[in-house]
Amino acid sequence: MDRRSFLSLGLGLSLVEMAASPTVQAAQIANSSAISKPRSRASETGFLPNVPLITHNGEQVNFYDDMVQGKTVLLNFFLITCKEGRCPIAMANIRKVQELLGDRVGKDVFFLSITLQPEFDSPKALKAYAEGLDAQPGWTFLTGKPADIETLRRGLGFVDIDPERDRDLSNHIGMARYGNDKLDRWGSVSLRSSSANIASTFKWLSK
């Protein structure tokens, strides 16, 4: 149907009037901005897969779109069942980093901790774990479908080239990724290093 035929139906005028209204124009601008929001090179290359996940508060999110895009983040994998060794040290260090960064956490720095056992770690279990660490807003614990967690683990590079070692989940909890998605700057840090060292990695990620 051409434009003349469309207008002859009496529909064209009402749509033109709607488009001219300030409310509709504002909505169009907002939608356009959301659609055209740029994605980082890291996201486009698969380093930051946009897999669906669930937070410890039961919220359904997309990893890149909702948790990482445009933000400065610290990313790590962990095991709730790990009571000795790397995991308690790593998570305790992140807890200390939370203290060192103070109100920056949840404002311009965000912590994302992803379970390596999503088949066991429900949002309820993650929430209890987060409360045990006294995790403040800005530190989110995530679970999801095992296949999506695996896609995320491999995308972020938490993979050992030795298949036997790669199957050992404890091999993936000693390191963290940190970066600024907006600036496309990324690095790694040992979570077994001092909390002061971990916190210092955010100094060069200013916006």
Residue 207 binned pLDDT confidence (cut-offs 50, 70, 90): low
The whole-angstrom separation of Cα 55 and Cα 124 is 9
Q: What is the pLDDT of residue 85?
A: 64
> How far is CA 151 from its chain centroid?
14
The whole-angstrom separation of Cα 111 and Cα 74 is 5
Q: What is the pLDDT of residue 84?
A: 64
Burial of 113 (0-12, 13-18, 19+ CB in 10 A): buried
Q: What is the pLDDT of residue 23?
A: 44
pTM for the full model? 0.80
Q: What is the pLDDT of residue 137?
A: 96
Give the pLDDT mean for 9-37: 43
The whole-angstrom separation of Cα 2 and Cα 6 is 6
